[in-house]
Amino acid sequence: MKAAVLHAPYDVRFEERPEPKIEQPTDAILRLSATCVCGSDLWPYRGANVINSPTTMGHEYCGVVEEVGTGVTSVKPGQFVIGGFAFSDNTCPNCLSGFQSGCLHGGFFNTAQAPMLRIPQADGTLVPTSGKPSRGMIPSMLTLSDVMGTGWFAAEAANVKPGNTVVVVGDGAVGLLGALAAKIMRAERIIAMSRHETRQELARNFGATDIVTERGEEGVARIKELTGGLGADCVLECVGTPESMKQALGSARRGGYVSYVGVPHGVSLDAQQLFFTHVHLHGGPAPVRRFLPKLINLVEEGEIDPGKVFDLTLPLDQVAEGYRAMDERRAIKTLLQP
């Protein structure tokens, strides 16, 4: 089979890789219905991480079970399934406390931009849908593997409750879906920070009530203005840069909640500054597995349509263009069809 491989910054190739096989009795093999490029893939793509040797890419997927190992009991060939970007046994203490992305026997996928994918710990990782989803539903199902689950985690970790005022920092797919999650959690006011027109539109479509185009200190000042000088109850930091974190912390009210779900790059926090804000800080790689049953249900019931974040669909062999479009912000998120 052919799969995406990053050779150097800005150099993604579609090249021959061995087809995955069952290696452990707890494995499953999926034939992917769709995969995609993640905002976090842009860090190595742009050279933020060192690439020592050609590396396969991708951690978002949904598809049909092709084969299962002898120890797999919860899914079977032919079923349509989704799993998170991390695999997990879903039975260890970390999983049981809801942090499956920190599973003691888990890890992260990095071979999902491919037609076939091996799932370790299949029983703890995969969740089947009620039936085979319609073609139109597949993009939304795909988002549950990462961006929708991560947006949901951002909202949960920021303690969004009915009636709250919520600020979303970051207008990437995760930020946009964080706004959608906040809407489902019945936030009263959802302020999206974005200066990009099509993203603003999608944010509004997902439930944002206000758009703030200012950034940095001006952005914080505008949030304060919109919240009676107090700041927001909940702030979702969905970028991972020093600037976005500063903006997020500055936008929270005293004792408010700030979540952060994008891998922080070069972000250092001054504990004394944090201390005098009384802010609650919580984040990390989203434990998507925790939310899958609920989110699958919301998609199946037509309550959410997160697949709208895909504004570019390409055949998998054009994966390099998928990266380019996102890097140049021509696309919010690229769906790839194997």
The site for a second copy (CB under 8 A) is made up of 93-94, 97-99, 101-102, 228, 230, 245, 253-255, 260, 263-265, 267-272, 274-285, 287
> Which residues make beta-bridge pairs with 30?
65, 117
Give the shortest CB-332-to-a second copy separation in angstroms. Answer: 23
Query: Which of 136, 228 has the CB closer to a second copy?
Result: 228
Give the shortest CB-157-to-a second copy separation in angstroms. Answer: 8
Measure the CA–CA gap between 294 and 305, rounded to whole angstroms.
14
Query: Which of 240, 322 has the CB closer to a second copy?
Result: 240
Query: Which of 4, 234 has the CB closer to a second copy?
Result: 234
Measure the CA–CA gap between 98 and 85, rounded to whole angstroms.
15
CB atoms under 10 Å from CB of 11, counted, come to 13
DSSP string, 61-90: EEEEEEEE-TT--S--TT-EEEE-SEE--S
Query: Which of 2, 284 has the CB closer to a second copy?
Result: 284
Give the shortest CB-189-to-a second copy separation in angstroms. Answer: 15
101, 291 in Cβ contact below 8 A?
no
Going by C-beta distance under 8 Å and a sequence separation of 6 or more, which residues neighbour residue 276? none
CB atoms under 10 Å from CB of 265, counted, come to 12
Give the shortest CB-309-to-a second copy separation in angstroms. Answer: 23
Give the shortest CB-184-to-a second copy separation in angstroms. Answer: 22
Give the shortest CB-262-to-a second copy separation in angstroms. Answer: 9
Q: Which helix (H) or strand (E) holds 119?
A: strand 116-119
Query: Which of 99, 206 has the CB closer to a second copy?
Result: 99
Query: Which of 119, 245 has the CB closer to a second copy?
Result: 245
Geometric angle at alpha carbon 324, from 320 and 329, rounded to 5°? 150
